[in-house]
Structure 1
Amino acid sequence: MDEHRLPFDVPDAPLDPETLRDIVKAVADRPDLWQDALRQTTRERTYADVHTSEHLGIWAISWMADQHDTGYHDHHASKGAVFVVRGAIRHERLRLEGEPEGEAVRAGEVFCFDETFIHRMRREPGAGETVTIHAYSPPLRQAGQYSESEQGQLRRQATPAEEQLAPKGPQGEPTER
């Protein structure tokens, strides 16, 4: 990627979630940076690496089917921001007591998180073609994927960033629309 084409300066230090919010919005406004590289298929979520440097990683992700689901996960040491370009995702946060909290995040909306955040993202049922822009600082190198054991215990599995996130075992009931 030609760094001169980016709608922001390449950072020389880690970024906070608010700065990442500005970056995902700027990248969303520049589909020439990601649209042609983003494959679209209903078989799986696909992504395009828009930019990776020492302190920043940016991905565009396509969600073409209702079953596209990350499962509960964390981002290891990375802070992040997600902007919904089109369509909608269901954003759910794991709770130790009670049902997960969740809501639809629609086109034009953004959410941010720090490195302690555990969540799940899936395409909002019936939302149609959905595209999101994700920014991580530092770049995502690993994620932790969560599931419930047969005894009801919470489990975490370290997963390299290159591996497609998907539910690993029981995830509980998804939140309602």
Structure 2
Amino acid sequence: MTVKTYASPALDLGERARALAADLDTWVRRVRLDTQERWYERLHHDDDHEIWLISWLPGQTTGFHDHGESRGAFAVALGTLREHDLTADRELAPGEVREFGPGYVHEVRNTSAAPAVSVHVYSPPLSVMTRYDLTGSGLVERVQETAEQW
């Protein structure tokens, strides 16, 4: 099955994520639900950007993390997700998009009672992610992961 990547230079990251999230026929048969951890699959990768599809069962979370030097965007395709950064808490419904720049730290989780699916676009492709713990005195770096670990 060929996956449309919506890689037109005219589309920004948020528009790419939104367009692919709305095109369920392109990806819905690929989605898997995993009770142990979030399921994810990279749908596209080139020198400019990459696209990931992620499914979330209730309670599954990313924990606090950044995306290194990559810009990013994600769109909710099915269900609802909650994004939390150090300034706000946002509930995101299907079709809603969050865009962010390099070094942005956030946590995304499924706080609903139903599964959710989201589409994530990063440019340049992810090379490193740092995971953090939130303590009473702020964020504490826990571990840095490289792309080879995904």
Sort the TM-score into its range (normalised by shorter chain): 0.7 to 0.9
Structure 1: where are the runs of 5+ without partners? 96-100, 165-177
Aligned counterpart for 2:107 among listed residues 120, 128, 142 = 120
State which structure, 1 or 2, has the greater radius of gyration over its C-alpha atoms.
1
CA deviations over 1:103-123 (Å, ceiling 9, x no partner):
211112111000021100110
Give the superposed CA RMSD. 2.6
Q: CA separation of 1:140/1:33 partners in 2, compared to 1, >3 Å: closer, same or farther?
A: farther
Find the counterpart in structure 2 of residue 50 from structure 1. 43
Moved more, 155-164 or 49-58: 155-164
Q: CA separation of 1:149/1:162 partners in 2, compared to 1, >3 Å: closer, same or farther?
A: farther
Q: CA separation of 1:151/1:133 partners in 2, compared to 1, >3 Å: closer, same or farther?
A: closer
The alignment-based identity, stated in percent, is: 32
Structure 2: where are the runs of 5+ without partners? none
Q: How many residues align?
A: 150
Find the counterpart in structure 2 of residue 106 from structure 1. 93
Query: What TM-score comes out, normalization by structure 1 length?
Result: 0.74
Distance 2:121 2:137 in 1: 36
Letter in 2 for 1:90: R
Query: What TM-score comes out, normalization by structure 2 length?
Result: 0.86
Find the counterpart in structure 2 of residue 8 from structure 1. 7
Aligned counterpart for 1:37 among listed residues 1, 19, 30 = 30
Q: CA deviation at 1:147?
A: 1.5
Q: Is the 8 A contact 1:47 1:59 kept in 2?
A: yes
Letter in 1 for 2:111: E
Q: CA separation of 1:82/1:6 partners in 2, compared to 1, >3 Å: closer, same or farther?
A: closer
- Match status 1:154 vs 2:140: yes
Distance 1:35 1:42 in 2: 18
CA deviations over 1:65-101 (Å, ceiling 9, x no partner):
22x1111100001101110011111100025xxxxx2
Q: CA separation of 1:88/1:153 partners in 2, compared to 1, >3 Å: closer, same or farther?
A: closer
Find the counterpart in structure 1 of residue 57 from structure 2. 64
Distance 2:7 2:94 in 1: 22
Q: Is the 8 A contact 1:42 1:65 kept in 2?
A: no
Instruction: From the two aligned structures, give the one with the greater strand fraction.
Output: 2
Q: CA deviation at 1:52?
A: 0.7
Q: CA separation of 1:34/1:94 partners in 2, compared to 1, >3 Å: closer, same or farther?
A: same
Q: CA separation of 1:8/1:151 partners in 2, compared to 1, >3 Å: closer, same or farther?
A: closer
- Point out 4+ residue stretches in structure 1 off by more than 6 angstroms: 149-153
